[in-house]
Amino acid sequence: MKKELPQINEKNFPLISTHLTNFIREEVLRTGLKRVVLGLSGGIDSAVSCYLAEKALGKSNVTALLMPHRLSSPQSLKDAKNIVRLLGIGHHVIDITDGVDWYFTGEIKKGASEMDIKLRTGNKMARERMSILYDYSFKLKALVLGTSNKSELLLGYGTIFGDMASALNPIGDIYKTQIYQIARLLGVPENIIKKAPTADLWAGQSDESELGFSYELADSIMYLLIDKMYKPEVLESLGYDIKIVNKIYGMIKKSQYKRRTPLIAKVSERTINVDFRYLRDWE
């Protein structure tokens, strides 16, 4: 039985690339706008989104915001600046240290634990960046382009209303393993592709050590569970460690709330998104 996650390679990339750039162009232009703004971290996901946006809209219609915090790796800023230079797109560097840290000085005094502060600071950083992106969205008349891949969206490895927030996301149905493949085909610099995946919310943070499994393994499991709709016991019979399969399935279920709009208590005859049903592209 064939069970591998399909590859994005030289054969299928031309059509996938056209599809993704058409998506960006069409979904942006139909709103009456022509620009996008995105947070460029120096990592591979935002790099891929950025390359696709430049292909779709041209360099004059893409603006990158580089938003370092004092805890961010200096290399991240360098890598983001390199992408800006290579693509010739507009950019702004906005340090978010003050915007994030002032809030926690009081919280630390109140005696919050160090680990809690670390996680809460990470979330606040993601939401601070989101808040600035949406301010620039208004300022530049530009839609916020998402940079979350399918793996992190499914695992819930992101901050709700933070890095998970966007107006449109070209890479949200593409697994991390495939992001590497697409990055190479788009010509993203090799050093960005080779870096260990990190949310870069504190020094030395690593996605894979935090998650407890590699993206490669998680992606092949999620591909079978989600795309192929195989039951966990089928994955076990295929040789996957059932403990990891169950852990991943549990994470997907537990984070479902992050992928949905807020619940609304139904009282009327027609409730938004329940039985008041229109496309976002409603005309």
Partner 1 sequence: MHLIKALLAQINPYTGDIKRNIKKHLDFIEKARKEGASLVIFPELSLTGYFLKDSIYDLGVNINKEGPGIFGPLYEASKNVSIIAGFVERDDNFNFYNSSFCLSRGKVLHVHRKVYLPTYGMFEELRYFKPGSGFNVFDLSEGRSARARASILTCEDAWHLSSSYICVNKGANIIIINSASPARGIASILDKFSSINMWEELLSVIAFYYKSYVIYANRVGFEDGVGFSGGSCVFTPHGEMDSCAGYLNESSLKIEINLDLLNSERFKTPLIRDENLHLTFREIQDIIGSKK
In the complex, the residues that contact partner 1 under the rule CB under 8 A are 4, 6-9, 11-12, 14-16, 18-19, 22-23, 26-27, 168, 178, 276-283
What span, in angstroms and rounded, lies between the C-alpha atoms of 248 and 265? 30
Token representation of residue 59: 């360099």
Q: Which is nearer to partner 1, 8 or 126 (by Cβ)?
A: 8
C-alpha distances in Å from residue 102, one per residue of 90, 96, 123, 144, 274: 29, 10, 15, 26, 40
Residue 107 beta carbon to partner 1: minimum distance, rounded to whole angstroms: 38
CB of 77 to partner 1, least distance (A): 31
d(CA 35, CA 51): 14
Q: Which is nearer to partner 1, 115 or 279 (CB)?
A: 279
Q: How far is the CB of 19 from partner 1 (least distance, A)?
A: 6
Token digits of residue 152 = 């992190």
| Shortest distance, position 78 Cβ to partner 1, whole Å | 33
Q: Which is nearer to partner 1, 141 or 277 (CB)?
A: 277
Nearer to partner 1, 180 or 198 (CB): 180
CB under 8 Å to 18, separation ≥6 — which residues? Answer: none
Least distance CB 200 / partner 1 (angstroms): 28
Which lies closer to partner 1 via its Cβ, residue 76 or residue 178?
A: 178
Closer by beta carbon to partner 1, 11 or else 194: 11
Token pair of 166 as six digits: 């966007």
Scan for tokens 């946006």, then name that residue.
Answer: 53
The answer to whether the CB of 39 falls within 8 A of the CB of 46 is yes
- Cα–Cα separations (whole angstroms), residue 73 to 92, 179, 181, 206, 215: 18, 22, 24, 12, 22
Residue 174: which of 199, 196, 152, 144 has the closest Cα? 152
Q: Are the C-beta atoms of residues 178 and 8 closer than 8 Å to each other?
A: yes
CB of 146 to partner 1, least distance (A): 11
